Amino acid sequence: MSVSRAAMGVLSLTASLLASTAAWADGEVNIYSYRQPDLIKPLLDAFTKETGITTNVLFLDKGLVERIQAEGANSPADVILTVDISRLTEAKDAGVTQPVVNETINKDIPAHFRDPEGNWFGLTTRGRVVYASKDRVTENDITYEELADPKWKGKICTRDGQHSYNIGLFASMIAHNGEAATEKWLTGLKNNLAKKPDGGDRDQAKAILAGECDLALGNTYYVGLMLTNEKEPEQKEWAAAIKVLFPNAKDRGTHVNISGMALAKNAPNKDNALKLMEFLSEGEAQKIYAEQVYEYPVLPGAEPSDVVKSFGTIKPDELPLAEIAANRKKASELVDKVGYNDGPQD
């Protein structure tokens, strides 16, 4: 999205949220979010209950940084919530965040999960794991490298190769194995696909149940969300058809990424924004992340939910996320170079 196009899109938000900056100052906070609304609603409800501060959420699936740039000094954005280290560093590099030095936040979030300059903070981690058919896959151990083995030809499903979740994994492969080896691996993975990449992570579990593939890449938290989905009980069937394999558990560990937060550069409700950021880093919110969103909390000593524990024990890859982010451009280029999204070639 170009800045000019983004500028055209801000008018309705400006009309609704910017009518009077002073009017919100005592009781509201404005959140620009890449996170799905249903994932953050329990947290924001708890925050409002505790503080009385109303939360206004603008959800975007792309163009968040461009939007804030286009709004400039008049941007209503107070807090940015997003997934993936790349989107956090993108926001920082684009100049739409401001540094935060906060004793509560720094106490609750370990140093390796926050920007050294205070421009972003990790809130949770999630593993990029393998969903495997309980009925058709006997293996209980696997590596990412093995996904390129011809024995899996026609048996793997994934979402779009350019999606940030997959780019993060592919970037970690470059960091560990080098660009040339990753290109060869990615070509092998592509050749093992059962169909063109499509859908989301939950759709991959659905495809396994339907017999369209035996393995898929997916995030850990989606399994918890499917297993406990009362509104769409068919998702329980999708989750029941798979088991979670933690790749590279016997060597470097499973690739993990983060969800995180940042303080917007021109936050008009800065005090309320900092209250929200403190809340999200502390125990109650970290428990909600674990129990209702099924992610791994970053707060030291905080436990994952029993549902997540049932998947098995994760050994996280300790590769610094900054190193992964540094390889994302190369990873994206490789996806296009090997024609990953074209699917398998007969």
> Which parts are annotated binding residues for Fe cation?
221-222
Query: Using N-to-C axis directions, what is the helix angle for 179-191 and 164-177, rounded to 10°?
Result: 130
> Which residue carries 């009077």 as its tokens?
20
CA distance 43 to 269: 19
Rg from Cα positions in the chain:
20
Query: Nearest-CA neighbor of 105 among 271, 264, 278?
Result: 278
For the chain, the first-to-last Cα distance in angstroms comes to 35
Q: Which two tokens stand for residue 262?
A: 């940042």
For residue 149, the 8-state DSSP code is S
Measured CA distances, 119 to 18, 86, 98, 101 (Å): 24, 13, 6, 9
Other C-beta atoms closer than 10 Å to the C-beta of 17 total: 19
Residues forming beta bridges with residue 131, ordered by sequence position? 216, 244
Q: Which two tokens stand for residue 264?
A: 């917007």
Going by the annotation, the residues of the binding site are 221-222
